[in-house]
Amino acid sequence: MAIALMMRKDAHTPNDLRLLAQAPYFDVHLIRQKVMDLDYRPAPKLNVMTDEELLPAGTMIHSNSIARSTREALEESLGCQLPSVNREERESFMKSRELRALLVSHPELQSDPTVGELYQLLKLATGLGFTVGWCEDLEEKTPRGWR
């Protein structure tokens, strides 16, 4: 099972999403609306995408996979566990101000090779006003012969 960071903001803007897409653990396709057109081309570069191609406000956004050991090291360093959430939940996310206060009180984590990139992502997300939680219901891709 893979772990990702799930983020939500009622009124996120296209600029919020563009900033998130530049953070560690993010790729452009994570903030782009799914397109059903079979002839559709792969995701363009971030600076070429129109606002209409980005996820609408209030949509839950998940990061790329984050190692369990990175999650554990961050939570141990902060002395706090982030909640686990799923796509249906809205109220159990950690509020951005609460988590940002914890992050600001531990600036040494920014340069920590184990959790530095996760710290940067969380600091950016909370600075933009996103609530956050861990999402553990993503399926980890396994080779076909390993079932």
Query: Along the 147 residues of the chain, how does pLDDT read in single tens digits?
Result: 679 999 999 999 999 999 999 999 998 889 988 765 545 556 567 777 888 889 999 999 999 999 999 999 999 999 999 999 887 777 789 999 999 999 999 999 999 999 999 999 999 999 999 999 999 865 555 555 544
Could you tell me the pTM of the whole model? 0.84
What values do phi and psi take at 67, rounded to 5?
-65, 140
Measured CA to CA in angstroms, residue 10 lies from 41, 72, 90, 123 at distances of 29, 28, 10, 18
Helices (H) and strands (E) in the chain, counts: 4, 4
* Cβ-based neighbours of 34, under 8 Å, separated by 6 or more: none
